[in-house]
Amino acid sequence: MAESSHDLHVAQRAACVEDLVLVDRCLGGEQTAARELFRRQQGRIQATLYRILGSNRDMEDLLQETFIQVFRSLPGFRGEARLSTWIDRIAVRVAYRYIAKKPPAAVPLELVEPAGPGASAPDRLASAREGVRRFYEALAQLSAPARIAFALHEIDGRSVAEVASCTESSVTATKVRIWRARRALRRQAESDPVLSEFLSDASAEESA
């Protein structure tokens, strides 16, 4: 047990060294290093942005903006956190600016019946997609900090402490934001059967 813990510790430190060497190579103007950094991190950034913003036609622009910010800010990377954590913070800031700039989308008025137990597979798929869409529309009604905290914690599965670190806020404030977001979504779900079903499925799976 102690040995595996030691190995993990060594592996983490080796990863830190690797990060720092990569950053130094980037700052030395090595194009291959910049490319390596891009390729290592782009999947992670895409996932983070997607979890916060959902399916989005501006995703390509946002990914580009994030990396440009990353390369601009590289001289400020001090190696106190993992490079991936540091990059996550930048991605969150980019997402925050995007949400703050864009007005919340209007919630459509059409009513879609949730797919019942006897519904066919395509119907269920369509219903699931509609559920995701409604869910992100409901998220769009939240404040940017609440939305980001909720998305990173509940959708991306990060711990509260990690979310607090990414959003550069305290653990207490993060907890409050997540709680407020949950409350707002629950209220929204009361008047939206599709969203209600989407969230209840998730809760049922969790409790199971």
Nearer to another protein, 154 or 162 (CB): 154
**What residues numbered 88-127 form the site for another protein, per CB under 8 A?**
none
Q: How many residues bind another protein (CB under 8 A)?
A: 62
> Binding residue for another protein (CB under 8 A) from 40, 71, 126, 169?
71
> Binding residue for another protein (CB under 8 A) from 97, 156, 169, 193?
156
- Provide the sign of the torsion angle of the four alpha carbons 151, 157, 161, 166, taken in this order: negative
Nearer to another protein, 28 or 109 (CB): 28
CA-to-CA distance for 168 and 164, rounded, in angstroms?
Answer: 6
If one asks whether residue 198 binds another protein (CB under 8 A), the answer comes out as yes
- Provide the sign of the torsion angle of the four alpha carbons 70, 73, 79, 85, taken in this order: negative
H helical segments located in the chain: 2-27, 31-53, 59-73, 83-101, 121-140, 144-150, 160-166, 171-190, 193-207
Angle at which helix 83-101 crosses helix 2-27, to 10 degrees, equals 60
Nearer to another protein, 30 or 190 (CB): 30
Nearer to another protein, 65 or 145 (CB): 65
> Binding residue for another protein (CB under 8 A) from 41, 53, 67, 130?
67
- Residue written as token pair 């490079």: 83
